[in-house]
Structure 1
Amino acid sequence: MGRVVVVSNRVAVPRRGEPAAGGLAVALKDVLKSSGGLWFGWSGETRKDGGPETRRVRAGGIDYATIDLNEQDQKGFYAGYSNGTLWPLFHFRLGLMEYDRKDAEAYRRVNREFAQALLPLLGPQDTVWIHDYQLIPMAAELRALGAKQRIGFFLHIPFPPFAVVSALPDAERLLRDLLAYDLVGVQTKSDLSGLLNCFAEGLGLFPDAMGGVRGEVAGQQRRTQLSAHPIGIDTRGFATLARKAAYGPETQRLLNSMGDRSLIVGAERLDYTKGLPHRMRGFGALLANFPEHLNRVTYLQVAARSRNEVATYRDLKRELDSLAGRINGDYAEFDWTPVRYVARAVARDTLAGFYRAARVGLVTPLRDGMNLVAKEYVAAQDPEDPGVLILSQFAGAAEAMDGALLVNPLDAEAMAVQLDRALKMPLGERKERWEGMMRGLEDQTAMRWAENFLTELEEMPLPEQDMMWSSPARN
C-alpha cells in the first residue's frame, strides 16, 4: 500500500504557538499519520521570478511539502479566478462573478505548476486526494505528465447545475477536467444532482448504473465515480472543548455582561455567501415585531474579515457596520446593546464556550456547501439545557439536521418568527431536537468522512499495467 497524499491550496503546517487546528485538519492529519502520508500545497509566500522550489518539513509524523507562487500568477489564480470567478459562480451569485481571461490563464498555470512540483514526490501506489475549487484542473495536469495513481477530488463548496455553470466562459473545459479523477466527491445529494446535470447538459455524459461517467482524458478513456460524502466535525472533541471553555474567563466575562438576558450567536468569516446582512435584518424584525424581547436578548455576531483586497468584501463590511449601528440606535437602552458585532477572528475555544452559552445559534447562509458552524453549535450544547439551532434551508447541513428550525434567509419576517419560537421553546422540545441532531453528528464525524472517501477511492480499479510504470524517485 502507498501513502495518502493530500493536496490543498494552502498547507496547514503546524507552528508553535498557533491555535489548535479545526476538526477537518485534525481528521486529515490522522489519515496522513496512519499512512505515512504527505500534505502538499502553497506555502502562502510569493516569489518575484524564477521557478518554484519545493520545501520539505516533517512535523508530528507527517511530511509537508510546499512551494511559493509567482506573485502575479498568485494574484490572478487566487484573488482573480478562484475567488472572483469560481467562488461566486459555485455559490449561485452570477451578479458578483467577474471574469478575466488572464486570470483564467494564471489559474491554469498555477495548477500546472502544482502538478509539476508534486509528480516527482509520488510513488506508483500513492493515493492522491486533491481538495476544492482552486485545484479542479490539477488531476488533468498530472495525467498529462503521465501520472497513473488513483486521484480523488473533493469539492467543499456547492456544485450548481449547468444552467448556472454555463455562465462561465469555457465551462465545458473545466467540467472535462473532472474526468481526470477516479472519484469526485461533493457534500450533499443536491450537489451531486448539480454535478450530474453539468455532465449531462454540458458534456452529454450520463451516469452508469454505479453512478459514474466515462470520458476521454489525455487521449485515453477513463471512468470517474461521482459520490456525495457529507463532511462532519470532531464531535466529541468539540463537545469537550466547549465544556471546558464554558468555565473559561472569556465565556464568564460574556455571561456576566449579559445578566439574565438570552444570547443569540452567529460566527463565520465575513463573506457575502453567509447572509450576514439578512441575519441582521431578521434580528431587527424580531425586536420590531416581538417587543417582549426588548432588553431581554442580545445578538452577538462574530464576522472575521477576509479577502480585504476584494471590493465586494469591503462593501459588505460597511453594510454590516451600518446595519448594526442602525439597530442599536433604534433599540438600545443605556444598559443594553442589542447587537454586539465583532469584525475580527475569535479563538476557536472561545467560540466553543460562546456557543454553549447561547440560547440560539443563528446560521443563515445564502448558500453553503455544508456549514460546520451549525454542527459545532449543536456539539457544544449542554445536554441538560441545549439551545436551538436556526439554520438556512440553503446550507448543506440542512439536508441531515432535521432538528434545526429552517429558514429562508431572504425573508426577515419569517426569520423573526423562528427566532421568537426558538427563544420561547420549552426544554423538552429543545432536548428532543438536540438529541436527534447529536446522534447524527456522532455518527458522521470528520474522521469517518475522510475514511469513507478514501475507502471508496482506494477500491477504484488500478490497471495492472499502471502498477508497473517507472515512477520518479521520492525525495
Structure 2
Amino acid sequence: MVPGIRRLVVVSNRLPVAVREVDGEWTVKAGAGGLVTALAPVLRDRGGIWIGWSGAADTDDHVSDLLADFSAEAGYDLRAVPLTSAEVDDYYFGFSNEIIWPLFHDFQTRCRFKPDYWRMYLDVNFKFAEVVARSTQSDDYVWVHDYHLMHQAFFLKSMGVKRSTGFFLHIPFPTPDIFLKLPWRWKVIQALTEYDLVGFQTMQDRRNFVQCLHMLMPEARIEGRGAVITVHVGSRSFRLGAFPISIDFNQFNELADRPDIVREAFRIKEALRHRKIILGVDRLDYTKGIPERIRSIGTLLDRYPDLKGRVNFVQIAVPSRTEVGEYRDLRIEIEQLVGRINGRHSFPGWVPVHYHYRSLPREKLVAHYAAADVGLVTPLRDGMNLVAKEYCACNTGEDGVLVLSEFAGAAAQLQKDAYLVNPYDVEGVAKALHRAFYWDKATRRDHMANLREQVRHHNIYWWVDSFLQAGVSKNLDDFPPVETVKYERG
C-alpha cells in the first residue's frame, strides 16, 4: 500500500523507559513490556524513533541528557514530549483517566466530563503532534498507540504534514449507547477517521466503532470483509482492523522452565502445603473486578465445604494510581473483604486467601504462574488482558485451568478452551472453580495444550506483523534486524 517506508516511528503516551528521581539523582531504566520487546529491534535496525512523555513532570535538562545516552546505547532515538504538572493533571489524570478510561470500560458513572480536561487533551495532543512533525519525514510510518493520543493524525493534517499513520486502541471501544454520552463524541470519531489504519483488539470493538461511525457520520460506507475492512467517508478512505495483541510466548515459556524458577514455583507450592492454588494477578483498578472475585472465593467456600483446607486463593494486586482517592478506597475495600473471608473460614494451619499488594519481579511472577493450578482472570471489562496469556505460556506442565471473564478481549481468542464466566455472577464463578477443581488430568491437559498453542502461534510478533501488513504491506522481515527473533507465522 505504502511503498518506500523508511523508518517506523512509534508514538505513545509514555516512552519505553522509566525515568525517576532517586535521592536527588535522575535515573532511566529500559521498559520490559511486550510492545518494547517486539518493536525495539525494528526501531534499532532501521534507525527508528519512539516519541512519548518521560513520565516525569517539569523535569530539567538532565533527563534529556539521560535519554540521549539511552538512545545511543539502545540504537534508536527517544524523543521526549515535555509536560507540565498542569498538563499531566488535566490531560493524563483528567481526560484520559477520568473520562476515556471509565467510559470505554463501561463505567460511565465514574466519568467527570469537565470541559477543561477536553481543552487540555487537545493542547497536549497538539504538542505531541508538533514533536512528531519535527522528528519525522514524509517516508516514515507513524504508529500511534492508545486513547491518550487519538488526535495525532488530525493535528498533523491540520499542520499540512503528510505522513502515513496507523492507530491502535489497546482498550475496548464501547457500544454506541455508551460512547454517545461523550460530549465530544463527534470530534473524537472525526479524529480517528484521519488515520490511514485504525486497529482494535477484537472484532466486537471494531463493530462498535462502525456502529458509532454510522450514527455520527451516516455517509460513511463500508467495503470488504474479514479482519480488515475499508471505510469511505467523502473523498477519503481509511482502513479498520481487528488485531488482538499478545505476548512473547517463548520468553515466558523459557523462563518458566528455568531451574531457579522451577525451584521457586515448588517453594510456593510447599509454603501452601501443596494445596490447589487459584491465582489472580492484576493492576489495582476498578475494571479488574478484584472485589467481585474475592466475593466469589467467599461464595466458593460457603457453598462447597469440601474444598475447605484443600485450596488457596492468591491475589497479587500491583499498586496503581496511588494518589487517586478512589483507588485508595478500592484497596481498603479489598483488604476488608479479604479480612472478612479469612476471619470466617480460616482454621489452624489454613488461611484461604493470601493477598499481596505489591509489584513482583518478572521471575517471581512467572514462578507464581507456574505454581498455580487455576488462573482466575475475571476483569469486569478489558481490552485484551495479557495475564490470561502469560498464565498459559508459563503452564509448561499443561495441567492448569484458565477461568476467564467473558468480558475480557482475550475471550474472543481463548473461549474454546478457557472456562468462561460472568465476573458479576459470584455464584457462577464459584461453581466454575468447583468444577475446575475436579477436572480430570486428561481434560485439563487437552484444554491447556490448545490454549498454549493459540498463544504461541498468535504471539506479539504475529501482532506487529499483522498490523504492519495492513498498514504498509510490510512485516517485521522488511525491517531486517541484525539478529532476527524467530517466530511462527499464521
Q: By the TM > 0.5 criterion, same fold?
A: yes
Superposition deviation, residue 303 in structure 1: 0.7
Determine the C-alpha separation between the residues in 2 that align with 1:388 and 1:398: 14
Distance 1:30 1:245, change over 3 A: farther
Aligned 8 A contact 1:205 1:213 in 2:
no
Determine the C-alpha separation between the residues in 2 that align with 1:109 and 1:146: 18
Distance 1:58 1:393, change over 3 A: same
Determine the C-alpha separation between the residues in 1 that align with 2:221 and 2:446: 40
Residue aligning to 1:163: 177
Determine the C-alpha separation between the residues in 2 that align with 1:212 and 1:450: 20
Distance 1:19 1:350, change over 3 A: farther
Aligned 8 A contact 1:196 1:206 in 2:
no
1:370 alignment partner, SS class? coil
Relative contact order, CA 8 A, sep 6+: which one is greater?
1
For residues 4-83 of structure 1, the aligned pairs below 5 Å read 4-13=8-17, 21-47=32-58, 56=68, 57-83=71-97
Determine the C-alpha separation between the residues in 2 that align with 1:297 and 1:168: 44
Q: TM-score, normalising length from structure 2?
A: 0.88
Superposition deviation, residue 206 in structure 1: 3.3
Distance 1:47 1:222, change over 3 A: farther
Residue aligning to 1:398: 411
Q: 2:359 aligns with which of 326, 345, 349?
A: 345
**1:152 lines up with 2:166 in the alignment:** yes
1:180 alignment partner, SS class? coil
Determine the C-alpha separation between the residues in 2 that align with 1:207 and 1:432: 44
Give CA-to-partner distance per residue, 1:303-331, whole Å, 9 cap, x none. 11111232221221111011100110001
**1:387 lines up with 2:405 in the alignment:** no
Counterpart amino acid of residue 307 in structure 2 = H
Superposition deviation, residue 44 in structure 1: 1.0
For residues 449-464 of structure 1, the aligned pairs below 5 Å read 449-459=463-473
Superposition deviation, residue 223 in structure 1: 1.4
Superposition deviation, residue 458 in structure 1: 0.8
Residue aligning to 2:276: 262
Distance 1:254 1:48, change over 3 A: closer
Determine the C-alpha separation between the residues in 2 that align with 1:94 and 1:306: 20
Distance 1:300 1:199, change over 3 A: same
Determine the C-alpha separation between the residues in 1 that align with 2:461 and 2:436: 31
Determine the C-alpha separation between the residues in 2 that align with 1:76 and 1:354: 37
Unaligned runs of 5+ in 1: 461-475
Residue aligning to 2:105: 91
Determine the C-alpha separation between the residues in 1 that align with 2:31 and 2:187: 39
Q: 1:291 aligns with which of 305, 308, 333?
A: 305
Q: TM-score, normalising length from structure 1?
A: 0.91
Give CA-to-partner distance per residue, 1:85-128, whole Å, 9 cap, x none. 00000001111111111111111100000011221110110000
Determine the C-alpha separation between the residues in 2 that align with 1:327 and 1:246: 34
Once the two structures are overlaid, the 10-residue window that deviates more, 305-314 or 441-450, is: 305-314
Once the two structures are overlaid, the 10-residue window that deviates more, 140-149 or 26-35, is: 26-35
Superposition deviation, residue 20 in structure 1: 6.6
Once the two structures are overlaid, the 10-residue window that deviates more, 178-187 or 450-459, is: 450-459
Counterpart amino acid of residue 435 in structure 2 = R
CA RMSD of aligned residues (A): 2.2
Determine the C-alpha separation between the residues in 2 that align with 1:79 and 1:238: 32
Distance 1:323 1:245, change over 3 A: farther
Superposition deviation, residue 459 in structure 1: 3.5
**1:373 lines up with 2:377 in the alignment:** no
Residue aligning to 2:440: 426
Give CA-to-partner distance per residue, 1:196-246, whole Å, 9 cap, x none. 011011222434323222336xxxx43110000011111111111122276
Distance 1:201 1:245, change over 3 A: farther
Number of equivalenced pairs: 454
Determine the C-alpha separation between the residues in 1 that align with 2:338 and 2:79: 43
Superposition deviation, residue 373 in structure 1: 0.3
Superposition deviation, residue 403 in structure 1: 0.6
Counterpart amino acid of residue 318 in structure 2 = A
Q: 1:364 aligns with which of 378, 403, 408?
A: 378
Superposition deviation, residue 47 in structure 1: 2.0
Aligned 8 A contact 2:221 2:233 in 1:
no
Aligned 8 A contact 2:298 2:341 in 1:
yes
Residue aligning to 1:464: none
Residue aligning to 2:134: 120
Distance 1:209 1:304, change over 3 A: same
Superposition deviation, residue 255 in structure 1: 2.1
2:56 alignment partner, SS class? strand
Determine the C-alpha separation between the residues in 1 that align with 2:195 and 2:378: 33
Counterpart amino acid of residue 277 in structure 2 = L
Aligned 8 A contact 2:102 2:108 in 1:
yes
Counterpart amino acid of residue 11 in structure 1 = L
**1:327 lines up with 2:345 in the alignment:** no
